[in-house]
Homo-oligomer: A and B are copies of this chain.
């Protein structure tokens, strides 16, 4: 952290702020220039609020020069983190596709969907059992029963599965039943929940909050990692902006930004990112083209009867066609989707 003093700061002011910083246990590296004095603060400043120094007399600005996260930072871990679960590796050459319904509704629905998405090349099955719903009057999910239906359907297709957990008290129960535990966008800064998923031995899929900066997303990952769980994968799912034609604005540029700042895998969710079925395919293609390590896509065998998020769920046929497009795009940038996808691409459209 660097404290830039005002040009007219007095010696007494410089002394006072220096004493205060030393009092907090940091060292000071002062630089008295011709125009102004700049104080370098030496020590672990990640717990120091820059604003607390900015209010002091004589201070022009306080600048953080290191990122407030460490475990999640590429500066400290130059190599990509690859998360391996069985024969699936997230963050490696293969672009991993997670697919399935928004919510697990019954055994038949989830089994049929699993079979269809598996056939098209998805490696991981998604399905909500505890649903965060804006309205208290909406379908809230099947709970633990839903988790079991999800796991059984995945096993039947030799797939992994992922589901969301919403409160600390349920973390272990969810972690016992699925392969990857998801923390949803609305809970990205639910700190007790982050700590709790930091204590389990399952990978965590952490979604970016609707109005979270990328720095805050990485800080949330830091929470989980600081609690003991290094296996975190991030997911861009659209941010809130003034635009209203789309439900959210999917921030595709977050993909290369996260790649530069962090070593963690970054996925993209074009279903929530756009909120509309007809925008899912172009945004899925865009995400892969921009370098995403994976996708999470909502697929439903009967979207018009879905208990939640039908409007953004793909029909299985459309999903299968999209997978073909994605395989070629992945190939174009030197990656692959699915085992057989290192083949020559087929031209689409």
**Interface set of A (CB-CB < 8 Å, partner B):** 2, 4, 20, 29, 31, 33-36, 38, 40, 42, 44, 46-47, 49, 51-52, 54-56, 60-61, 63, 65, 68, 132-139, 166-169, 186-187, 189-195, 209-211, 213-216, 219, 222-223, 226-227, 239-247, 249-257, 260-261, 273-279, 282-283, 285-291, 303-304, 306, 308-312, 325, 328-329, 331-335, 345, 347-349
A52 to chain B, nearest CB (A): 5
| Chain B residues near A60 (CB-CB < 8 A) | 65
From the candidates B242, B273, B277, B287, name the one contacting A240 in the complex (CB within 8 A): B242
| Chain B residues near A49 (CB-CB < 8 A) | 308-311
| Chain B residues near A65 (CB-CB < 8 A) | 4, 36, 60-61
Whether the Cβ atoms of B283 and A55 lie closer than 8 Å is no
Residue of B nearest to A309 (CB): B49
Alpha-carbon separation in the docked complex, A239 to B51 (Å)? 19
Alpha-carbon separation in the docked complex, A149 to B131 (Å)? 37
Alpha-carbon separation in the docked complex, A334 to B240 (Å)? 32
Whether the Cβ atoms of A245 and B2 lie closer than 8 Å is no
| Chain B residues near A186 (CB-CB < 8 A) | 189-191
A75 to chain B, nearest CB (A): 9
| Chain B residues near A61 (CB-CB < 8 A) | 63, 65
Whether the Cβ atoms of B245 and A249 lie closer than 8 Å is no
Whether the Cβ atoms of A287 and B285 lie closer than 8 Å is no
Whether the Cβ atoms of A192 and B213 lie closer than 8 Å is no
A158 to chain B, nearest CB (A): 29
Alpha-carbon separation in the docked complex, A10 to B33 (Å)? 23
Whether the Cβ atoms of A213 and B349 lie closer than 8 Å is no
| Chain B residues near A335 (CB-CB < 8 A) | 349
Residue of B nearest to A61 (CB): B65
Other than A135-B219, A246-B257, A328-B332, give 16 A-B pairs with Cβ distance below 8 A.
A2-B4, A47-B139, A61-B63, A63-B63, A134-B216, A136-B219, A167-B193, A186-B191, A211-B240, A215-B244, A239-B243, A256-B282, A286-B286, A289-B289, A332-B345, A334-B348
Whether the Cβ atoms of A47 and B290 lie closer than 8 Å is no
Whether the Cβ atoms of A190 and B191 lie closer than 8 Å is no
Whether the Cβ atoms of A211 and B214 lie closer than 8 Å is no
| Chain B residues near A276 (CB-CB < 8 A) | 51, 55
Whether the Cβ atoms of A312 and B51 lie closer than 8 Å is yes
A224 to chain B, nearest CB (A): 9
Whether the Cβ atoms of B169 and A52 lie closer than 8 Å is no
Whether the Cβ atoms of B20 and A215 lie closer than 8 Å is no
Residue of B nearest to A32 (CB): B31
A226 and B20 in contact (CB under 8 A), knowing A249-B251, A277-B55, A278-B256? Answer: no
5 contacting pairs across A/B (C-beta < 8 A): A2-B4, A4-B65, A54-B311, A209-B211, A334-B349
Alpha-carbon separation in the docked complex, A187 to B186 (Å)? 8
